Structure 1
Amino acid sequence: MHYELCDFYRRDTSFDFNEEANEIDWLSLKSGQRIEVGKPLVFNVDRIDSYINDYDLLPTSNTPLVSERFKILFSDLKDDLQFVKATIVGGNNRLNEDYYFMNVLNVIPIMDKNRSVYEIKKYGKAEVMTIKELYITDLTGHSIVRMAEHKSYLIVTDDFRKRCINANLKGINFVPEGHSAYK
């Protein structure tokens, strides 16, 4: 069984990659390549909540920010993950430097197009895929991958999910393959 890794946070917000403050462009964060930067990556949020450090995964636009606990738990996955120090800047320039950008190093075509239910719409030259029911072929020996067909999807194995649950990590939801919000 495979799962989509999703975040959950107490309020509706997003920790956004700050392109102006960073040395790299946000698209390179989804490339599956190791990144080298001379300083922590900067993310912005409207305010830094008093409970932020209760969470091990923060809501972002598919550029996951994870806690030190998460980083330590998965430090053995050197072929799958790279952790890059991050600085979160909130309102009134309050800082939180307790998180890491989780760079998923494998972008692999894993969507079972025969079993999955999806549609592709064209907007000019751009194609946008909407996945209504996702099935996975195989992660080919990896614990976590970014799905090549739709790079916003992070797919994990059942073992990865169990490690998160056993460590009591917070702010993480797992959507099982085959789940559909359209049914």
Structure 2
Amino acid sequence: MGSRLARLLRHRWVDERSVRRALPAEALDRLEAQVAQSERHHSGEIRVCVEAGLPLSYLWRGAPARERAVALFGKLRVWDTEHNNGVLIYLLLADHEIELVVDRGLDRCVPAEHWATMVRELSRALRAGRFEEGLSQALAAVDALLVQHYPLAGDAPNANELTNTVHVIA
């Protein structure tokens, strides 16, 4: 019960100011530019979502960050790309957790253990409070996989099916 209450308070305490301290506007702009640059080399779509804390309904039932990330994967329409190769990079600031939710096209190309290893490695920067660095590393890792499995053919531009803006939920 104590840890559940502590988590509830932590998630209610983290707000928009906390997000702005962790990722100021300039950091969000750099991440957005990194997404745009990445998508010039592959047909995949990357969305970055940063959430201050989970909604009460998730906290009440003790839901993990992964459950929320999967819900946002659908809500932000990352699943709805032409080649089924969208990736959501989700940061839950209150828990310093990162989740990678990958659409079925790319997921078939990369073993599940590879994704789990990536998340473990990226979590180190986040737990140390290096949020921009952790998200930038996540973007670079996802970019490398998308370039490997979904390179653009010739001079064909990426259709950019999703916005490159970092989605912030405070």
The reply to whether TM is greater than 0.5 is no
Q: Which has the higher contact order (CA 8 A, sep 6+)?
A: 2
Higher helix share: 2
What is the TM-score of this pair, normalised by structure 2?
0.33
What is the TM-score of this pair, normalised by structure 1?
0.32
Higher strand share: 1
